Amino acid sequence: MATKPGKITVVGSGFYGSTTALRLAQYDVVGTVVLTDIVEGKPEGLALDINQSRSIEGFETEVVGVGGGSYEGTEGSDVVVVTAGLPRKPGMSRMDLIETNAGIVRSVAENVARTSPDAVVIVVSNPLDEMTALAQLATGFPTQRVMGQAGMLDTARFTDNVARELGVATSSVRTLTLGSHGDTMVPVPSRCTVDGQPLADVLAADRIAHLVDRTRNGGAEVVALLKTGSAYYAPSAAAARMAKAVIEDSGAVLPVCAWVDGEYGISGVYLGVEAEIGREGVRRVVEGDLTDDELAGLRDAAEAVRTKQADVADL
């Protein structure tokens, strides 16, 4: 029996979706987390397993599994996290998934609009920027209520890369990535610090460039090592933290894929930026100081994803 108000639905019960559901349940910020999948029995079994960990981990959120592609039980969700879609395989780019995942995301978005018309939607399916745009079109929701998870993950990867390079605690490192989730990702070294010192003061320019490149290819690095499937621990942490910020109406400023309408001189595109997150989704895009090169990179990323986002409208 749900002890708190609020419901979050996670669509897709693969590694990413089930780990996101687990993290959200352990946050204990809503009464119910619904885990759905087209496979009958899988989300139900995962939900049972997670619920049986509640007394050990000390949380009360109930996880409900819904299989067979049904959306029964998801009605009235406050947040819907869309993880449905095929993961990458070694040698595949995120763009290789576009046609297959577009059909899946469109179907999910239409069902979400029907069953949870007031929800905030967080998209994590790849290619991320394009699928976020498609989800907004398919739901018909206001742009602020549809956002994508990418910048938090890419920023976390950048932070980990810097901390490992310098042999320091991750808590002492602050980094930021903007732009697209892919080749036109824009890590922002000018906004990065280590123990409050600018990154450029503690790390040589060539090493920063190396870490930027490793961050940009962080997903492919994991995919190549796993050989089957793609990353899910760090991505699920990012998606769950975004959902938590919505539920708590926290006003946290997070790097996410959001609709940009004039900020940085860019308009009419979903793009990785910092945004203030609350109960209605994106309250506002937060503009920060960028170098000329970083701003140029962000504007290039906007144009690169703009064309692809226009293409998904017909998929």
pLDDT in tens, 58-78: 999 999 999 999 999 999 999
Same-domain pairing of 163 and 124: no
What pLDDT is stored for residue 41 in this prediction?
A: 98
CATH number of the domain that residue 107 is part of:
3.40.50.720
Which uninterrupted H or E stretch holds 118? none
> How open is the CA angle 283-289-295, to the nearest 5 degrees?
95
pLDDT at 267 over 60: yes
Whether residues 206 and 118 fall in one domain: no
Based on the domain organization, do 213 and 250 belong to the same domain? Answer: yes
CATH number of the domain that residue 256 is part of:
3.90.110.10
Residue 131 has phi, psi (to 5 degrees) of -70, -30
In the chain, % of residues over pLDDT 70: 95
Q: Are residues 213 and 94 in the same domain?
A: no
Statement to judge: residues 184 and 289 lie in one domain: yes
> Do 75 and 172 sit in the same domain of this protein?
no
pLDDT over threshold 80, residue 24: yes
Residue 42's CB is within 10 A of a number of other CB atoms, namely 18
Structure-token pair, residue 198: 């600018």
- Domains identified in the chain, total number: 2
| Beta-strand relationship, 146-148 and 120-123 | parallel
Reduce the DSSP state of residue 16 to 3 states and report it.
helix
Is 156 found in the same domain as 121?
Answer: no
Q: In the prediction, which pLDDT does 98 show?
A: 76
Give the confidence band of 263 by pLDDT, cuts at 50, 70, 90: very high
Q: pLDDT for 121-138, tens place per residue? A: 999 988 889 999 999 999
User: Which residue of the set 7, 106, 181, 216 is catalytic?
Assistant: 181
CB crowding 206-220: b at 16 or more within 10 Å, else e? eebeebbebbbbbbb
**37 is annotated as contributing to ligand binding:** yes
Mean pLDDT of 83-93: 70
What is the C-alpha separation between 69 and 72, in angstroms, rounded? 9
- Residue carrying the six token digits 């469109």: 106
**E-only strand ranges, 55-160:** 62-66, 79-82, 120-123, 146-148
Say whether 210 is catalytic. Answer: no
Assigned token pair, 222? 């994991």
Q: Is the dihedral of CA 304, 310, 314, 315 positive or negative?
A: positive
Report the half-sphere exposure of 221 (CA within 13 A, side-chain side).
10
Q: Domain check: are 118 and 266 in the same one?
A: no
pLDDT, tens digit, for every residue of 155-201?
A: 999 999 999 999 999 999 999 999 988 788 999 999 999 999 999 99
Residues 156 and 299 in one domain: yes
Is 157 marked as a binding-site residue? yes
Domain that residue 161 falls in: 152-312
Mean per-residue pLDDT for 269-280? 97
Q: For residue 16, say whether it is annotated as part of any ligand binding site.
A: yes
pLDDT at 94 over 90: no
Residue ending a domain, choose from 111, 128, 148? 148
What 8-state DSSP symbol labels residue 293? H
- Return mean pLDDT, the chain: 94
Per-residue pLDDT tens for 135-159?
999 999 999 999 999 899 999 999 9
Mean pLDDT, residues 226-244: 95
Is 74:80 a contact under the CB 8 Å cutoff?
A: yes
Answer whether residue 1 is part of any domain: no
Q: What's the angle, vertex CA 256, arms to CA 296 and CA 101, rounded to 5?
A: 100
Q: Which residue has the tokens 């080749």?
A: 183
Cα(first)–Cα(last) distance of the chain, in Å?
A: 40
Give pLDDT, residue 21. 98
Phi, psi of 307, deg, nearest 5: -65, -45
The answer to whether the annotation marks 54 as part of a ligand binding site is no
pLDDT of residue 91: 67
Residue 15 labelled as part of a binding site = yes
- What is the C-alpha separation between 310 and 146, in angstroms, rounded? 17
Residues 18 and 166 reside in one and the same domain: no
**Are residues 298 and 163 located together in one domain of the fold?**
yes
Specify the residue for token string 């320091």. 168
The answer to whether residue 18 scores a pLDDT higher than 70 is yes
Residues 134 and 210 in one domain: no
Element (H, E) at 227: none
233 is in an annotated binding site: no
Which residue has better confidence, 99 or 21?
A: 21
